[in-house]
Amino acid sequence: MLLPFSPSPLPPISAAWLARPSPAIAVDLLGCTLVRQFEDGSTLRSLIVETEAYAPDDPACHAYRRRTPRNAVMFGPAGYSYVYLIYGMYHCLNVVTDAEDVPSAVLIRAVQLQQEPPGDRSPQPLARLGAGPGKLCRALQIDRSHSGQPFAPGQPLWLEQRSPSLDQQMRQGAIALHQTTRIGLTQGADSPWRWYIRDSAAVSKR
DNA sequence: TGAAGGATTTGT
DNA sequence: CAAATCCTTCAC
């Protein structure tokens, strides 16, 4: 299933809206728009269809043990990006949430691209390009240089609210949300902090 | 200074 | 199931 993109501009999501516990944000970000603005000024919009929450006292959270240079942004205020390199070859994009000094974030695991990203790329279904945290960063050309930056219009990345019609469909259950345990973890694997739009073509298997 | 391992993806 | 590939973290 492909979600409909809004034909009209949607309001940006504020840092204040993101200053809540990460599980709540993970649910609320489903159906919202991730906007990538490239250096030439062009933009590429994607609908968020799969997320995971990471929180304080969560063994799976990068900030679980202590503050380090890598995870420092998670200790800061909500509304900033946290991008890290995993397995030496893939980047993962997070939205920092909750209050300052409460290290938490939401991992964007899958998006539905509105159009083909710029650059030479072998023709591939858009749903595939955004299926997986590493793949969506590759498609949107997101790397660690984008970590620690605010989500705000005019920046390389920002977020926009759900369209009213999509919000209504999700609240009425016409678009089903699912909640499961998180993927690929060795610790904290029991917390049911993964959410996705069930029938989306872009979510991870399971 | 060294070593182990990871919020992934892909191909065998 | 294992490789690719490199950064982060922790131990010595």
Q: How far is CA A43 from CA A134, A146, A163, in A?
A: 20, 15, 18
CB-facing half-sphere around the CA of A178: CA atoms within 13 A: 14
A194, β-bridge pairs = A52, A180
- Helix %, strand %, coil % for chain A, to 5? 20, 25, 55
- CA-to-C1' span, A182 to C12 (A): 34
Nucleotide nearest to A128 (CA to C1'): B9
Nucleotide nearest to A87 (CA to C1'): B6
pLDDT at A127: 87
Residue carrying the six token digits 């990460």:
A22
- Each of the 206 residues of chain A gets a pLDDT tens digit; together they read 899 999 999 999 999 999 999 999 999 999 999 999 999 999 999 999 999 999 999 999 999 999 999 999 999 999 999 999 999 999 999 999 999 999 999 999 999 999 999 985 667 888 899 999 999 999 999 999 999 999 999 999 999 999 999 999 999 999 999 999 999 999 999 999 999 998 888 886 56
Query: Which chain C positions come under 7 Å from a protein C-beta?
Result: 4-10
Reading the block at residue A89, the tokens are 């070859």
Q: Is the CB of A65 under 7 A from strand B?
A: no
pLDDT at A201: 80
Nucleotide nearest to A70 (CA to C1'): C8
